[in-house]
Amino acid sequence: MKITFRNSKQQQPTEQDGFNVTYAPAKRIAFKARWYMLLAIVMSPIVLLLWYIFSEKLLIAADGILTTEPVELNAFQRGYVEELFVKPGDYVEKNDIIMHFRAPRVEQDLKLLRQRIDDLKYQNKASLAKIKLLHQQQISDFISALASNNQIQKEYAEGNRDDLLTLADRLMLERLEVEVKRDYNKALLDYQWAIENHQNGPISKSIVDLERDINRLLVTQSELNVRAPNAGVINDLYVNEGEYLLEGASLAKLSNRVQPVVMVFLPPNRLEYGKIGNRATVTLPDGTSVVGVVSEPTQMANRIPRSLAGPFEDGKVAVQVTLSLETDISNFVEGLPIRVRFYYFE
């Protein structure tokens, strides 16, 4: 025999002692809410403990960024951006010209040095012409003297055939010939020495120094063509044509890798997962998941970037791990934040 208990509230839940009680359902909901609240308070420490065990002990997850480790190009002179040859997204080869940089200070220095060297070369040429004229005149005089001496010797030689010359006269003629030739040779040596001394003089040295300075400025001017240090993609341009920049200003960012990698910042207590060959699942912001493999030795700890750090993690140090992706990413964005989950059971 089945025994059932009937409660009048089951039949008329909104009636109490013959009176209509309209708030009865709400009162019962309040009792239920109070009960669930007490249950939540009692269970919350257990839930938090389970979540801590799961996140810290079982879930090996870390934040990272998708990057090609771009190289930042900086201005090494003050000046203007005269012309841009690329735009963001363009691929460039090594030594391709990215932009032409114009430095008015270098141009002004070149102009002054060239004007100064032209003046010195003019002075040097005029001075050399005077030296040549002076010594050539002296040499010409000795040549004339030598010719006269030869003529005298010839005349005396004709007289000597008739024994008209004494021994003293003959000795005098021979000594005169030796002296004229000696002075002539000395004039030639003096002329050569004067030319060499002029070439090594203060004006010539100043010209050499100025030419060295001009060559140095020409090298600097040639380097104003900002070139790609390696092949890659222009990630960003920070300047516009005609813009004046100070020395050290950022010009552009150039990717340093052909394929992007994932730079993961792993907690130090998970260092063993940074070994080469370990695999992980990389989840992009759009929900796409790809497989990554640790491809480089983990040898550096670094501060977590601010874009990944939480409100209480600024300056926190983590192990930097590099993952290579097994699948190419079509829509690559430099510095894209991602989530990485390593496998607990490899």
Is the pLDDT score of 68 beyond 80?
Answer: yes
Is the pLDDT score of 164 beyond 60?
Answer: no
Higher pLDDT, 55 or 50: 50
Do 226 and 97 meet the contact criterion of CB atoms below 8 Å apart?
yes
Q: What is the pTM of this model?
A: 0.54
Is the pLDDT score of 1 beyond 50?
Answer: no
Banded model confidence at residue 157, pLDDT cuts 50, 70, 90: low
**What mean pLDDT do residues 104-130 have?**
80
Name which of 165-169, 183-187, 321-325 the model is least confident about. 165-169
Higher pLDDT, 117 or 57: 117
Is the pLDDT score of 21 beyond 70?
Answer: no
- Give residue-wise pLDDT tens across range 212-233: 888 888 887 777 788 898 888 8
Name which of 177-181, 253-257, 320-324, 330-334 the model is least confident about. 177-181
| Predicted local confidence at residue 312, as pLDDT | 60
Most confident of 55-59, 188-192, 246-250: 246-250
Banded model confidence at residue 248, pLDDT cuts 50, 70, 90: confident
**What mean pLDDT do residues 267-281 have?**
85
Residue 29 amino acid letter? I
Name which of 86-95, 164-173, 191-200, 320-329 the model is least confident about. 164-173
**What mean pLDDT do residues 281-293 have?**
86
- Percent residues over pLDDT 70 in the chain: 71
Q: Rounded to whole angstroms, how far apart are CA atoms 114 and 285? A: 60
Is the pLDDT score of 24 beyond 60?
Answer: no
Strand partners, 342: 60, 280
Is the pLDDT score of 273 beyond 60?
Answer: yes
Q: Average pLDDT, whole number, for the chain?
A: 77
Banded model confidence at residue 5, pLDDT cuts 50, 70, 90: very low
Phi, psi of 98 (to 5 degrees): -90, -45
Secondary structure (3-state) at 183: helix
Higher pLDDT, 271 or 137: 271
User: What CATH code would you report for 60-69+257-342?
Assistant: 2.40.30.170
Q: For the chain, what are the domain ranges?
A: 8-54, 60-69+257-342, 106-221
Name which of 61-65, 164-168, 283-287 the model is least confident about. 164-168
